Amino acid sequence: MYRLLIVDDEPDIVEGLYNAFYDYEGLELDIFRAYSAYDAIKILNSERIDIVLSDIRMPGMDGLEMTRLVKERWPECQVIFLSAYPEFDYIYEANQLGAVNYILKTEGYEKIAESLHSAVNRIQKEAKLSQPYRSGLEFSHKFVDFILGEQTVKPEDLDHILSNMNIPMSSEIPVYMMLGRFSHSNDMDFRQRSELYSVLNEMTCRYILPRYNVILDEREPNTFVMILQPHDSHRSRAASADLPSPVTEMKGLAEMMQNGFSEESNVVMSFIIYDETVYMKDLGYYYRRIENMLKDSEIHGMGLIVLDKETISSPHNSRMQYSMSTSHAIELVKEYIKENLGRPISLTSLANEVYYNASYLSRLFKKSTGMNLTGYITAMRMEKAKELLINTNKRIAAIADELCFASPSYFNQAFKKHTGMTPLEFRTKCR
């Protein structure tokens, strides 16, 4: 699954593109909508986006300036520009900024679909590493054992060890911690596990090392820990700009690693991320609490869990325990959809409810129900629309608004596609 952000200051164009691709069979897409570049940046600060499909001429901030900000936040994001005119100066600058394609709005949905496929192919190609990127990444089982152990650790001792081992970190700067688990690795031999951790090393270096100094260590045959400290440049840039929070950033990076592993092998990984910074001297306490939760919770598949201090202090948090069960996740998702038909529902928001990677949840839901999530959401909205049309005197425009359709015309189109009748025809026939 790939996250697509559609940006245009004309709502009809945004909704037309959304309706053309929200249930597109050629690609599995989770689609977000923005009606200005400023709205787009807000979304990019809260979610990792894979592809941006944007108008190039917009009031306030144009597509080119927005693209510069997109690349600051998510360098891997692919940008496709739409324009009403073949403006060669714009095309040249767009290419300089790394835009994948420049499409005239008159070329139609088929051309846009081709560009979306090209963007996905480029993402997949760039994710496949041809060589390891080991520079700057330190593996030190001894050091990790030391800082995660039961003993009290003095900061001056830590700095001495860090210096002697040439690890570019300081005990005076707080760190973030991520724990991960592989599926099926207990059934692997030593060579297979070595290859698995080699890929993990490469992906860590590709996605995380440009932003953070990293200590990565295997704890058990199927688990690992990452200790992350922002580079000085990354920390100062984050302090002076409106950028995604470190936790949002780490969650997005973890998702990319999860997707990379699942596309390359049958091995899937789950992550637990602690959303508070911790000083190295205190890492042991928090690690032991999170480690126990990782072991006790039986994370299934591609879990992506963000923990806070409250959850850490209550490791048997009932909601988390419940949602981590695969058998209950689908029911939770269905219940959430039922209760939120009047609000925008994305695959990402559903995944956050049950602590799953969005791509994995999408596949799990389809396997369990025979329907994809977007189709299920639409079907539930149509059933609710039928109920309102039969049992109330609400105007069709009011029903469209209540069920989160952008306009009555799009509600009419969707309803007729689903039932073979317009809402008015359905009301007249069924009453």
Same domain, 180 and 271: yes
Asked, for residue 193, whether it belongs to a domain, the answer is yes
Same domain, 220 and 259: yes
Q: Which residue segment(s) compose the domain that 64 sits in?
A: 2-127
CA-CA distance, 389 to 385, in Å (whole number)?
6
Asked, for residue 223, whether it belongs to a domain, the answer is yes
Nearest alpha-carbon partner for 223 in 322, 317, 292, 157? 292
Same domain, 234 and 149: yes
Global pTM reads 0.76
Asked, for residue 179, whether it belongs to a domain, the answer is yes
Burial readout 133-161 (b: 16 or more C-beta within 10 A, e: otherwise): beeebbebeebbebbbeeeebeeeebeeb
Q: What are phi and psi of 113, to 5 degrees?
A: -60, -40
Nearest alpha-carbon partner for 302 in 337, 336, 271, 333? 271
Q: Are 57 and 63 in contact (CB under 8 A)?
A: yes
Same domain, 120 and 81: yes
CA-CA distance, 316 to 296, in Å (whole number)?
9
What is the tally of structural domains in the chain? Answer: 3
The residue out of 93, 127, 161 marking a domain boundary is 127
Q: Are 29 and 2 in contact (CB under 8 A)?
A: yes
Q: What are phi and psi of 50, to 5 degrees?
A: -90, -40
Structure tokens at 42: 């807000």
Same domain, 86 and 196: no
Asked, for residue 292, whether it belongs to a domain, the answer is no
User: 333 vs 268, 326, 344, 382, CA distance in Å?
Assistant: 21, 11, 14, 18
Same domain, 187 and 86: no
Asked, for residue 297, whether it belongs to a domain, the answer is no
CA-CA distance, 177 to 226, in Å (whole number)?
6
Q: Are 378 and 410 in contact (CB under 8 A)?
A: no
Which CATH number is 407's domain given?
1.10.10.60
Residue-by-residue pLDDT tens, the chain, 431 positions: 889 999 999 888 888 888 888 777 778 889 999 999 999 999 999 889 999 999 988 888 888 889 888 888 888 899 998 877 666 666 656 666 666 677 887 888 888 988 899 888 888 777 665 444 444 444 566 778 777 876 666 777 788 878 877 788 888 899 999 988 887 655 667 777 777 787 788 788 878 888 888 888 888 777 889 999 988 766 655 555 577 888 888 888 888 888 877 776 667 788 888 888 989 888 888 888 777 766 655 555 567 777 666 666 654 554 444 345 677 788 999 999 999 999 989 888 898 888 888 888 888 898 888 888 888 999 999 999 999 999 999 999 999 999 988 788 888 988 998 899 999 999 999 87
Asked, for residue 29, whether it belongs to a domain, the answer is yes
Same domain, 256 and 162: yes
CA-CA distance, 25 to 208, in Å (whole number)?
32
Q: Are 281 and 289 in contact (CB under 8 A)?
A: no
The residue out of 98, 127, 156 marking a domain boundary is 127
Which CATH number is 187's domain given?
3.30.70.270
Same domain, 254 and 386: no
CA-CA distance, 282 to 289, in Å (whole number)?
12
Same domain, 50 and 72: yes
Asked, for residue 356, whether it belongs to a domain, the answer is no
Same domain, 110 and 207: no
Q: What are phi and psi of 197, to 5 degrees?
A: -70, -25
Same domain, 221 and 266: yes
Asked, for residue 332, whether it belongs to a domain, the answer is no
